[in-house]
Every structure is written in C-alpha cells, then in structure tokens.
Structure 1
Amino acid sequence: MPNIAPRYWLMIAILGFVWGGTFLLIKLALEGTTPFWLAASRIGFAALLLCAIWGIRGFKLFKDQTNWPSLILIGVLSTALPFMLISWGQQHVSSGFTGISMAAIPLMVLPLAHVFIPGEQMTLRRLIGFCIGFVGVALLIGGKAFTSSGSELESYGRAACLSSAACYSVSSILTRRLPPVDPLGLAAILLVIGSTIIVPVAWMAEGPPVVPDNRTLLIAAVLGLIPTAAANLLRVIVVREAGPTFMTLTNYQVPIWAVVLGAVFLGEELPPSMLLAMTLILGGLGLSQFGRLKRLFGGTQGHNP
C-alpha cells in the first residue's frame, strides 16, 4: 500500500465537510426551483467556471495517449446519470435509504479496485474496517433507512439509488485508469459532458426553466462553485493521485456532517446513537487505513496494509 501525503488527507476531510453540507443547501434551494433544473444549473455553472480557467491554461487535456471513449463514459457516470437516478429515486424511497446507498460506495469500490487498479489490493483489515464504517452509517441514519415509503415504485426507486452508487464507483475506477491527463481539464470536460446530457433531460422532464428568486439563484451559484466545481476538481486529484479506494473515505464522513449541519442550521434533532455511530465510523476508517495512518504519524516507511 503506497504512502498517502498529508495533503490528500486534508482533501478528503474538506470533501466530506463540503458534500455533507450540500444536502442542507439543496433542501433550501428546492424551495424555489425543481430538482432536475437545480442539478442542471449547478453542473452547467461549474462547467462554465472550470472551462474558463481551463481555457486560460490553454485547454490542455491528455498529455500523451488519449482515451476519449472512457472519458465520455466517465462524464456520464460521474455526473449526469447518478444525478438523474437519485433525483428520480428519492421520489419513491426514504431519505435514509438514499444515505445508505451512498455509504455503500466504498464496499463497491473495494473489489473493483482490487481487480482493476494495481496496488489497490483488498485486504481483510480494509474490508473489516469498511464494513464497520458502513454499520456506523446505518446506525447514524437509524431505522428510517429501511422503512417503506409506501410508494408503488419503491423497489425501482431503491434500484435507482443503488445504481447511482454503482455509477460513482465505476467512474472512480475508470478515472484512475485514464492515461496521463491534466486534472483541471479532466474536471472541466467531465462537467461539460454531464451538462450536455442533463440540461435537455431537465427540459423534457420539467419543461422550460423558470427564473427563480434571488435567494435560490445565490444558493444554486454556491452549489455550482463549491460542491460541484471545486469539489469535483479535488475529487479528480484524489482519485488520480491517491486512488479510488482512498477517495471513498469521504462517503462515511458525509452522513456525519449532514446530520450535524442539519441540527445546527435547520434545528433537526441529533439521533441518540450519534456518539456510537461516530465511534464506529471513525474506528472503521482508522482500521481500514491503519498502515497509512501509522506511517503518517509514526514516520515509518513500511508497505504493510
């Protein structure tokens, strides 16, 4: 298992906090707009922003080899398709089940990385650690994760949420396997691909966009700038340089921050199992990354997992 530089630990901590707060902002934005157009606006704004910066740098992308088919597939799987699946699926399942679906991403990435990414072997310690973290997330979300929504299409909704998690998992593996590429250009082009798909879909599903109020526009701009543009650039860097398995550590942080920020800003009640859930999540993550943490804080240079 390769050493992970401290900057990558900082990056996943930032991503966990930012994406945990995204649910709060989405909830506020949906008071003034519709789900598909909110997704389209944040992806489109982020794409324009990153493309402007990318253009200043000369629109450099692949450094030597090219792999456009994989790049297009990653663009579909990392933005447009999972956004649409979640938007549709959430209409028919509980919000808790959506959270559980996202927490399943590390367990999906682990075997995929073992097979397709050199140096990302699945060890017993890492598997046990990820499973403990998943149990912690399930405890944090509570019984509402598996309670029925009563929808006739609930089973299809659950399949859509799990499929979105699979999209993110596969896109991370494909991103890691791309030939040498400029991270900023990669983040920009993926958002461009996503926006070219989701904008016409939003138009077909929800009709022409209606200009929202200034408060909603501001929230949508923040969603496009921070959790979409900036966070996707960080995600590309972490996946490319530290690996897709390491990147999945954010998935267990997100529910913690979502619960904490919801309590602080929306007055939502903290679950009684909060302390135990956090202990399991952090303990599981620590166990899965024990070798890396030992080298990080102990300064050893071994390569044991």
Structure 2
Amino acid sequence: MNGFIDRSRAWARFGVLALLWGSTFLWIELALDALTPVQVTCSRCVLGALTLLAACLGSGRRLPRSRAVWGRIVVAAFFCNALPFAMFSVGQQSIDSGVAGVLNATTPLWSLLIGVVTGAERGLRPSRLGGLLLGFAGVVLIFAPWRAAEPGGWGALAVVVAAGSYAVGFTFMSHFLVGKGIPTISLSAAQLVAATALTVPTLPTGGLRPIDIGPGTLIAVVILGVVATGATFHLTYRNIAAEGATDTATVGYLLPVVSVALGVIVLDEDFGLRSAVGMAVVLAGVGLTRRQSRSPAQARAKTTGGRTGRNGLPRHGLPRHERDVRQ
C-alpha cells in the first residue's frame, strides 16, 4: 500500500510539474508583449526568489550559510535559471510558445548525452543510442537549418541551448546540492536569489527601456514569476531529490502537449506540419532513450513492494539526511 501511495504521489508531482512548466512558454509569450527579454528574465527571477524566500521563512527554514554551498548554488543558478531563462525569452521573440515547449523536451536527450560524455552512462545499448540520434534528428527537423531565410531558426537554437543548460543544471544539482542535509525549500530559494544576482547586472543591455504594461500582461508576468518560476522550481528541486536528475528531466515528455495546446487555444498559434513531425520524432527519440532494463535492486524492490532510490537503495534505507532533503 505504501508503495502504491508513493508512486501515486510521484505521478501527481510529475503531472503538476508538467502542467506548470508547460504553461511557462505561454506566460513568456504574453510577457514579451510589453517587456524586453532581459526584463522578462529579471522579473521572473525576482518574483520567484521573493516567493520562495517567503515560503522558506514561513516554514521556519533558513538559507544555507556555507560559502562552499553558495558557490555551488551560483553555478547551479547560472545553468538552471539565469542562462535558460534568458535563452527562452530571446528565442520566443521569433518562435511560437508551442515550438519552444517541444524543443524543451530535448532536455532528457541532453541529460543522456552528458551521462555518456562523463562516463555515468556505461554500456549504452543500441536502442538508447538510436533514441539519442533520433531525438536530435527531430530537433534538426524543427530547427530547419536549410531554411536560413527564416528568422525563427535562431530562436529555435536559443531554446535548444536552454534545454541543454537545464540538463547540465539538473545533473549538477543532483550531484552537488541535493542529499546534503539542506532542505529543498532552502536550496531552491537560495538558488533563485543567486539567479537574481546574476541577471540584474544584465539590465543595461536592454532592460532599462520604459515599460508600458497593461493589466493582462501584468497578470501574466506575476504568474510567470510566482507560479511558473517560484513554485515550479521548488517542485523541480523536490523531484530531483526524490527521483534523480534524469528522471526529473523526463517530465519534458509532457511539456509539448501542454505548451502546444495552450499556444493553439489561447494564442491561436499555427502549429505546422514540419513542427508536428519534428515533435513526434523528438518524443519518439526521448522514449527510446528511457527504455532500459530493470536493475537487480529494482527487481527486488518490485517483489517486496518497495521503492528504490539513487544507487538502487530502497527509499526507507536512505540515510536520514537524504529523506529530510525532500522537505
């Protein structure tokens, strides 16, 4: 029964994360009606940081104090927040929100590639290698470099860079921040504070333009910062702590469904045949990369009704600080 409840909670977290994360591209698109990419990036970092700081203080938690931890947080903030947030804002100036969501689904592919390069993915099976190649073929199809006259090509490239940056950030966070005895609410709040510190200095490059913003756009900016950045990022951190970086990246499977649906329904975006085929190819490739045989530890856990954590350990067998980090 406990195993069923844990799995249900995991699927619920993934579903909520996919819905919130997938809607991000809609809010960015609406925010760009009145703000520059730099202003969008800074505003979502500031609002997200304030949201999580309030949640952190309200729960009685404190921000990390160690300089070494803050150093790692700054690195994670660059790859998981500052850089991808800026790339999404720049990219969506020339591509639709639905296409941005599709391209963001390549994050699991980048995670696998990082694992191959670093040696974390050993004995790569032909099906997973084929999935990796197929997924990137889908990206090329959407990017369409042979159609150089289309301005959207560079926007697509910016979003692909953002997806790759997410993969780097997730991997770094999984190895150097989670599971160290620091509550995830403290880590996520501190990381958005660091992201704010990294992005605010970029305002002179295009963020000092006067703002003429209407009520609708203002609401979109607030939702982008408070919900799609603050709440979503904390939920992402909790998933990394509970499921690992690679499994968390697979929430990208559902992002295209949410982003495309919202783009077509709310923004009346035209989702063309090439993008649709490219989306199908990307998702097929990602699906192949996630096909893997069950490890012996996982098989034992399945027969005993337990769940496994990182390194194949049962959840209840993790050290106490590993369990506490999921708060």
Question: TM exceeds 0.5?
Answer: yes
1:103-122 deviation per Cα after TM superposition (whole angstroms, max 9, x unaligned): 4322221143457697x657
Unaligned 5+ residue runs, structure 2?
A: 313-327
Aligned-residue RMSD, C-alpha:
4.1
- Structure 2 matches for 1:256-267, cutoff 5 A? 256-267=257-268
State the shift of 1:284 in Å: 5.0
Aligned to 2:31: 29
Aligned to 1:221: 222
Match of 1:81 in 2: 83
Moved more, 269-278 or 9-18: 269-278
User: What amino acid does structure 2 have at the position aligned with 1:75?
Assistant: A
CA distance in 1, matches of 2:264, 2:42: 28
In the TM superposition, what is the alpha-carbon distance from 1:277 to its structure 2 partner?
Answer: 5.3
Superposed, which structure 2 residues align to 1:99-138 within 5 Å? 102-113=104-115, 123-124=124-125, 125-129=127-131
Cα 1:133/1:260, change in 2 over 3 Å: farther
> Structure 1 residues 72 and 269, CA, compared in 2 at 3 Å: closer, same or farther?
closer
Is there any run of 5+ residues in structure 1 with no aligned partner, and where?
A: none
With over 3 angstroms needed to count, the CA separation of the structure-2 counterparts of 1:167 and 1:278, relative to structure 1, is closer
* 1:245 matched to 2:250: no
Q: Find the counterpart in structure 2 of residue 165 from structure 1.
A: 163
Counterpart position of 1:147: 147
1:35–1:159 Cα change, 3 Å: closer
Structure 1 residues 154 and 130: CA distance shift in structure 2, 3 A: closer
What are the within-5 Å matches in structure 2 for residues 147-296 of structure 1?
Answer: 147-149=147-149, 160-178=158-176, 179-207=180-208, 210=211, 212-271=213-272, 274=276, 281=283, 285=287, 288-289=290-291
CA shift at 1:205, angstroms? 1.9
Task: Check the 8 A contact 1:97/1:145 in 2, yes or no.
Answer: no
- The CA deviation at 1:190 is 0.9
Q: Identity, % of aligned pairs? A: 27
Q: Which residue of 1 aligns with 2:56?
A: 54
Greater alpha carbon shift after TM alignment, 253-262 vs 47-56: 253-262
8 Å Cα contact 1:32-1:216 kept in structure 2: yes
Contact 2:38 2:207 in 1 (8 A): yes
Structure 2 Cα separation of the partners of residues 146 and 7 of structure 1: 45
8 Å Cα contact 1:103/1:134 also seen in 2: no
Equivalents in 2 of 1:17, 1:137: separation in Å? 22
- For residues 270 and 91 of structure 2, the distance between their equivalents in structure 1, rounded to whole angstroms, comes to 25
> Which amino acid is 2:37 matched to?
P
State the Cα distance separating 1:129 from its structure 2 match: 4.6
Residues 271 and 12 (structure 1 numbering): CA distance in 2 closer, same or farther, change over 3 Å? farther
Tell me the alpha carbon deviations over residues 183-235 of structure 1, each in whole angstroms, 9 at most, x when there is no partner: 11111111111112212312442315525222211111111122101110111
Q: TM-score, normalised by structure 1?
A: 0.76
Deviation, structure 1 residue 172: 0.8
- C-alpha spacing 1:147/1:251, structure 2 compared with 1 (3 Å): farther
Query: Amino acid of the residue matched to residue 166 of structure 1?
Result: G
Q: C-alpha separation between the residues in 1 aligned to 2:84 and 2:30?
A: 21
TM-score by length of 2: 0.71
Residues matched between the structures, number = 293
Note closer, same or farther for the CA distance 1:163–1:26 as it changes in structure 2 (3 Å cut): closer
Cα distance, 1:16 vs structure 2: 2.4
